[in-house]
Amino acid sequence: MSNSVGKLVIVSGPSGAGKTTVLGRLLEKSSLPLTLSVSATTRPPRPGEKDGVAYHFLADKEFQGRRAAGDFLECMEVFGSGYWYGTLAETVTTSLQDGKWVVLEIDVEGSATVLQKYTDAITIFLHPGSLNELERRLRGRGTESEEKICKRLEVAKRELTFIDRYRHDVTNGDVEQAVEELSKILDSYQTNG
C-alpha cells in the first residue's frame, strides 16, 4: 500500500465554458492518478446525466439534512442558479488518502471555501475566451430556457472577475489544446510539489 498523499485540483469557470468536456478528456488522457469528485446537487439531471456519475442528485430535504450533518467540505446555493451544490468531504479525504489527485469542478465561491482548508490546492480557471463565445455555447447546448441563459451569462460576467484568484487560467478555444495545457500544468506539480 502506498503512503503517498494525493493533491487537490480545483477547476472553476463559467457554466458553458466546457469544463465537463475538457475534464472528461483530461481524465482519459492523463497518466496521473486523477479522479473527479462527484458533487451533490438539488438541480434536476439534464438529459444523459446519470445519478452518481454527473452528480449525486438529491432532493432539497436530503441535501439540507446532509448539510446539517456536516457532510460537505463546502456547499452553497450557486449564485443565480437557485440550486444547491456541494462537495462531499468524505469523497475528497478518502481519495486523497489513497494518493489520488482529486479534481473538484466547483464555482468560484466554493473554491474560496476549499482553499481555506487546502491552501496548497492547484487552482485552475477555465474560460471560453469571451462572453460572446460563452453565449454561443450555452445556446448551442439547447438545454436551458432563454431566462436561464441570461442568468448564466450574468453569473459568468461576475465569475470572470475572480480569475486573478486562480494560480492558472486556461482558455478553452479548442478542447484538445485546453486538455494539453491542463496536462502540462498538472505534470509540473509532479516534481514541484
40 to 79: interface string for ligand 5GP, x by CB under 6 A: ---x------------------------------x-x-x-
- Min. distance of Cβ 79 from ligand 5GP in angstroms? 9
Take residue 97 and report the three cell numbers written for it.
488518502
- Min. distance of Cβ 66 from ligand 5GP in angstroms? 12
Q: Check residue 87 for interaction with ligand 5GP (CB under 6 A).
A: yes
Q: Check residue 110 for interaction with ligand 5GP (CB under 6 A).
A: yes
Q: Check residue 106 for interaction with ligand 5GP (CB under 6 A).
A: yes
Q: Check residue 36 for interaction with ligand 5GP (CB under 6 A).
A: no
| Contact residues for ligand 5GP, defined by CB under 6 A | 15, 39, 43, 74, 76, 78, 81, 85-87, 105-107, 110
